[in-house]
Amino acid sequence: MEMLAGPWTEDPEFVKLYDVENQGLWDIDFYCDLVVRLGAERVLDIGCGTGVFAVELARRGIQVTGADPAAAMIDVARHRVQEAGVGHAVSLIQGTAGEVPASSFSAAIMMGHVAQYFLSRADWDQALAETFAALAPGGHLAFESRNPQGMDADAWDEQSTRETQPHPDGGEFTSWLEVVGMEHDDADGPLITARGHNIFPDGRHITADEPLRYRPLPVLRASLEQAGFEVQQVWGDWDRSPVKPGSPELILLAHKPR
Ligand SMILES: C[S@@+](CC[C@H](N)C(=O)[O-])C[C@H]1O[C@@H](n2cnc3c(N)ncnc32)[C@H](O)[C@@H]1O
């Protein structure tokens, strides 16, 4: 068994499996519908990953800038945009929300639990400040974060998560998750590290550790307000149900005041 030295998002072999493992469309449908309902014409897709959402928005006639610091993710996004023939509507940058022009977007979306990648409170506050600066007055920010009150970390073990699926290059790969770290933080919510295991078609067994921050709703609300946003709505799941203690997600919609 071998362990990746850096994050999986920087490793082309792991990135190749990301879209195979994340084929559900519920979050994409949710945010596409939201962006259309808000009437947003220019969208910043923060942590755009492999570009699936950016392409879906472009197909709806929306201009998108996708930003992601991981070169391996952006490479896949570039191919996807080219293959979909939507290059006229999508710009991709390898970087963060701090590298886009100020006051130029009508909406910013962080989907795929990108908000949980900002591990320290200082990094999260900076990401919100950069997003606030990127939005035009009246612009919206929407994102989701897993609800620390609704998760069952005990279910993240090999028995519940092990799956064997076709590998995009032929053969099959097997993957599962294991929780290897849990640090409690009363102020900012727990930091949980999951180890992703992959057995590739040639038999190599490679693991990657991913720490994610699980901020409770009061912390998310307070950090948005501190950055200057007004929180408009909060949902507890993709069916737009309200937040309950056991809700799996915290999905927030906020706006920059005019
Ligand atoms: C789970 S992936 C989600 C990708 C995509 N949004 C999706 O829904 O499929 C998380 C992404 O967040 C990106 N990310 C990590 N730190 C970031 C930062 N500071 N700014 C923007 N994106 C970041 C990672 O590189 C990765 O592509």
Q: Is there a single domain that holds both residue 201 and residue 227?
A: no
Q: pTM of this prediction?
A: 0.97
The pLDDT of residue 174 is: 98
User: Are residues 136 and 187 part of one domain?
Assistant: no
Rounded Cα distance between 73 and 17, Å, is 11
- Is 1 part of any domain? no
Same domain, 131 and 251: yes
43 in the same domain as 162: no
Does one domain contain both 69 and 26?
A: yes
Same domain for 251 and 169, yes or no, is: no
Range of the domain at 165: 150-213
- Ligand 1 neighbourhood includes 117 CB (under 6 angstroms): yes
For residues 158 and 194, membership in a common domain is answered with: yes
Structural domain total, the chain? 2
In a domain, 42, yes or no: yes
**Closest ligand 1 atom to the C-alpha of 22?**
9
The pLDDT assigned to 154 comes to: 66
Same domain? For 111 and 143 the reply is yes
Let me know whether 222 and 121 are in one domain. yes
In a domain, 204, yes or no: yes
Looking at residue 186, its pLDDT comes to 93
Same domain, yes or no, for 248 and 181? Answer: no
Residue 53 lies in a domain: yes
* 194-110-62 Cα angle (round to 5): 145
Q: Which residues in the chain land under pLDDT 50?
A: none
Residue 5 domain-assigned (yes or no): no
Identify the CATH number of the domain in which residue 44 sits: 3.40.50.150
94 with 31, same domain: the answer is yes
Question: Is residue 6, in this structure, part of any structural domain at all?
Answer: no
Ligand 1 pocket test target in 27, 35, 109, 117 with most atoms within 8 Å of CB? 117
Predicted pLDDT of residue 239: 97
Ligand 1 lined by 190 (C-beta under 6 Å): no
> Could you tell me if residue 2 is inside a domain?
no
The position carrying tokens 């991709």 is 92
175 Cβ below 6 A of ligand 1: no
- Nearest-atom number in ligand 1 for the CA of 96 is 20
Which atom, in ligand 1's list, is nearest to the CA of 27? 8
Q: Are residues 29 and 134 in the same domain?
A: yes
The answer as to whether 87 is a domain residue is yes
